[in-house]
Copies of this chain bind each other. A is one copy, B any other.
Amino acid sequence: MDQQKQTIIGFRPKRKVLKRDTDMFQRTYRLQINNTLRTVYVLGTELKINLDSCAPSQSKFFSVKCSPNVQCEIVSRVQARSSLALPQPLGKNTVLLISMEAASLQPDDSKLSVRFYKDKTEILGSALLHLTAVEISLDVDADRDGVVEKNNPNKASWKWGPKGHGAILLVNCDSESAHFKQVDTENESVSKVSDLKDMSKMILRTSGPSELPEGYKLSLHISQTDAERVRIFRSRTSRQAESSLKNMLLGFFQKEYPLVLDKKQLANEVPYQGGRNELVFYVEGLHFPDKDFDGLLMINLSLLEPVGEGFPETPIFTDKVMFRVAPWVMTPNTLKPLEVFVCSTRDNTDFLEGIEKLVRKSGLKLKKCYEYMNRGDRWMQDELEFGYIDSPHQRFPVVLDSPRNGDLGDFPYDQLLGPDFGYVTRYASRREVSSLDSFGNLEVSPPVTVNGKNYPLGRIIIGVAFPTAAHGRNMTKVVQDFLWAQKVQEPIALYSDWLLVGHVDEFMSFVPAPDRKGFRLLLASPDAAYTVFRTLQIKGYGNAKMFPGKAEQVSVDEILNDKMFEAENNYVQSCIDWNRDLLKKELALDEEDIIDLPVLFKVVADENRAVAFYPDMVNMLVLGNNLGIPKPFGPQVNGKCVLETEVRSLLEPLGLDCSFIDDFTAYHKLLGEVHCGSNVLREPFAFKWWNLEL
Contact = CB atoms under 8 A, between A and B. Distances in A.
Nearest to A28: B577
A527 B221 contact: no
Contacts of A467: 221-223, 266-267, 300
B534 A224 contact: no
B310 A608 contact: yes
Total copies of this chain within the assembly: 2
Given A477-B225, A571-B307, A468 B527 contact: no
A38 interface: no
A50 B581 CA distance: 13
A562 interface: no
Of A466, A474, A538, most buried by chain B (CB within 10 Å of CB) is A466
Interface in A223-278: 223-225, 266-267
Contact of A315 (B50, B468, B596, B603): B468
Contacts of A466: 314-315
B224 A474 contact: yes
Given A53-B527, A591-B50, A608 B577 contact: no
B468 A313 contact: yes
A473 to B, nearest CB: 12
A36 interface: no
Nearest to A268: B468
A468 B221 contact: yes
Interface string A460-474: 000000111110001
A571 B304 CA distance: 13
A26 B578 CA distance: 10
A214 interface: no
Interface stretch (A17-25, A176-184, A367-375, A392-400): A17-25
A354 B57 CA distance: 35
Contacts of A470: 267
B528 A53 contact: yes
Nearest to A495: B315
A580 B468 contact: no
A312 B28 contact: no
A638 interface: no
A584 interface: yes
A305 interface: yes
A538 B590 contact: no
A578 B535 contact: no
A348 interface: no
Nearest to A26: B581
B314 A578 contact: yes
A302 interface: yes
Interface in A1-36: 18, 21-22, 25-30
A573 B28 CA distance: 10
A26 B535 CA distance: 28
Contacts of A307: 567, 570-571, 574
A366 interface: no
A588 interface: yes
A314 B574 contact: yes
A358 to B, nearest CB: 30
Contact of A312 (B225, B266, B538, B608): B608
B584 A26 contact: yes
Interface in A44-62: 48, 50, 53-54, 56-58
A533 B316 CA distance: 27
A109 B436 CA distance: 41
A219 interface: yes
B571 A311 contact: yes
B538 A54 contact: no
Nearest to A220: B468
Contacts of A50: 591
A301 to B, nearest CB: 10
A333 B312 CA distance: 32
B219 A468 contact: yes
A515 interface: no
Given A222-B467, A307-B574, A312-B498, A27 B590 contact: no
Nearest to A588: B22
Contacts of A590: 18, 21
A93 interface: yes
Interface string A534-575: 110011000000000000000000000000000110110111
A585 interface: yes
Nearest to A290: B292
A57 B574 contact: no
A592 interface: yes
Interface string A484-502: 0000000000010010000
A291 interface: yes
A585 B451 CA distance: 40
Contacts of A575: 314
Contact of A591 (B95, B291, B316): B95
Given A451-B22, A528-B53, A93 B314 contact: no
A308 interface: yes
A531 interface: yes
Interface in A192-233: 219, 221-225
Nearest to A300: B467
A308 B563 CA distance: 12
7 contacts: A22-B451, A28-B580, A28-B581, A29-B577, A308-B567, A311-B571, A315-B468
Given A21-B584, A53-B531, A223-B467, 6 more contacts: A22-B450, A25-B585, A54-B527, A56-B538, A93-B592, A312-B498
The 5 closest A-B pairs by CB, nearest first: A221-B467, A219-B468, A57-B535, A311-B571, A28-B577
